[in-house]
Amino acid sequence: MEAVLEKPATGTAYSAIVQKQRDYFWTHATKPAAFRKKQLNKLKAAFAKHESSLLAALKADLNKPAQEAFTTEIGITVAEIEHYLRHLDDWMEPERVSTPLFFQPGTSMIMPEPYGVTLIIAPWNYPVKNLFGPLLGAIAAGNTAVVKPSEISPNCSKAIADLIKDTFDPEYIVSIEGGVPETTELLKERFDYLLFTGGTEIGRIVYQAAAKHLTPVTLELGGKSPCIVDTNINMDVAAKRLVWGKFQNAGQTCIAPDYIYVNNKIKDKFLGRVKHYIGEFFGDADKPSDDLGRIISDRHFQRVSKMLTGDILVGGVTDASQRYIAPTIIDNVTNDHPAMQEEIFGPVMPVLGYDSFDEVINHINAGERPLAMYLFSNDSKLKKRLMNETSSGAICVNETMVHAGQPNLPFGGVGNSGIGAYNGKLGFDTFSHQKPVMVRSFLGDVAQKYPPYTSGKLSFIKMASKFLLR
């Protein structure tokens, strides 16, 4: 059977793929640590072999500069493979937990067990990282996987499918290319775990399809991630980090700072520094920079271009022929501005001013829970307030986006920004069922637990539950 289906497959063909993987899973071949490590090493070698075609595809689909592509797609994934290889033995080890007296003699442990056949559906914005990041978890946890790259980034979809086909047998890992019709068919199959990355609305569709089979899910979704800028900061470092995070991949990042909330006392000065670094990093707005990504499709180009209205401080320039939108700051924005109606997912930075931190907290809590929240401040009280009084997938203080590259932190959303998380150990845990295992001895058989029940037996059980179950 072909690892990559170039033509839309029928439901039956998908059923055959899934069945083949299920049969393979039940041979138990994917479970030993040595097998898992071998696959991770194969993937690492495949990244070296296919690096130039992945870079070319990222350039063709998104004009991703080589440094960005390495930092946020290829290098970060290879570093994560190393992290998995270093820790896998530890993570696979069952966790011994204490066994209360009532169950003695006996032992108890939590044993991570692979789910089986997994499905990973990836988006177009970080087509490599958002497909292989979850796949590392699936491999490390001992599963098989069907992966579905996004059709919206067709060059990346093909490069990923080629890499998978070149590296793995389809009964173990297979890539299925295609768009909505193919994904809809695929979602009719029964998977043992599903990880979806994409928009919240499609997330709902995927969740409903999974529910039909009671398939457990991780949903990595999006939302509007605010960036709050307090007075007490190093303005140059904050402005540089903000411009770097906001305009990576032309703003098409799920955790991009979406809109900026700046203390009115420093707003004009701070925006001056932001403007300065936009110029320093990307040059003149009329000359599309090679270091800036392009908008993925005409549809998204039109969608983001409609947001370019109001008090445009910098940018506002577009070139439809190359789907270029210049890095743009829009000042004095209110909640009814087009850029405040949905996740921007483009190089547009709306700015709101605030006088009191209460305003900021109330504004954030009135909306859906963001995937990320950023704060530039040296005030520990404000940091604590943001952590305790709001809810978001993550908080990153005095930086933007880098928390996603910290392998010891989970990555995921909450509420409308997602369900569950992955990254490093959490990737392994996400794709593992945590199976409780209790082993008793034939000794210590408590006679009082058996019928016929008596008041004496009940008194014993009441006493035991008080003192012997701790």
Structure tokens at 259: 């809109």
Among 130, 215, 249, 263, binds ligand NAD (CB under 6 A): 130
b/e map 389-416, b = 16+ CB within 10 Å: ebebbbbbbebbbebbbebeebbbbbbb
User: Can residue 171 be called a binding residue for ligand NAD (CB under 6 A)?
Assistant: no
Among 63, 183, 248, 390, binds ligand NAD (CB under 6 A): 183
Cα dihedral 426, 430, 436, 437 in deg (nearest 10): -90
Q: Is 171 a catalytic residue?
A: no
Which one of the spans 62-70, 115-123, 275-283, 437-445 is the region binding ligand NAD (CB under 6 A)?
Answer: 115-123
**Cβ atoms of 193 and 143 closer than 8 Å:** yes
Residues 410-449 that bind ligand NAD (CB under 6 A): 413, 418
**What number of chain residues touch ligand NAD (CB under 6 A)?**
30
Among 47, 124, 132, 282, binds ligand NAD (CB under 6 A): 124
**CB-based burial label for 466 (10 Å; 0-12, 13-18, 19+):** exposed
Nearest-approach distance from CB 271 to ligand NAD, in angstroms: 25
> What is the total residue count of the chain?
470
Query: What one-character-per-residue DSSP string does 129-174 give?
Result: HHHHHHHHHHHHTT-EEEEE--TTSHHHHHHHHHHHHHHS-TTTEE
Residues 315-344 that bind ligand NAD (CB under 6 A): 343
Q: Name the catalytic one among 171, 182, 227, 254.
A: 254
Q: Name the catalytic one among 80, 177, 220, 343.
A: 220
Measured from each CB, the residue nearest to ligand NAD is 222
Nearest-approach distance from CB 4 to ligand NAD, in angstroms: 15
Residues 244-283 that bind ligand NAD (CB under 6 A): 254
Cβ neighbour number for residue 13 with a 10 Å cutoff: 16
User: Can residue 121 be called a binding residue for ligand NAD (CB under 6 A)?
Assistant: yes
Residues 342-371 that bind ligand NAD (CB under 6 A): 343, 345, 371
Q: 97: helix, coil or strand? A: strand
Residues in Cβ contact with 266 at an 8 Å cutoff, skipping those fewer than 6 apart: 229, 231, 235
**Cβ atoms of 296 and 252 closer than 8 Å:** yes
Structure tokens at 128: 């490599």
Among 114, 222, 257, 427, binds ligand NAD (CB under 6 A): 222
Q: Is 220 a catalytic residue?
A: yes
Phi first, then psi, for residue 109 (nearest 5°) are: -150, 160
Among 94, 179, 283, 405, binds ligand NAD (CB under 6 A): 179
Residue nearer to ligand NAD on the CB measure, 293 or 353: 293
Which of the residues are catalytic? 220, 254
Q: Which residues bind ligand NAD (CB under 6 A)?
A: 121-126, 130, 148, 150-152, 179-180, 183-184, 197-199, 202, 205-206, 220-222, 254, 343, 345, 371, 413, 418
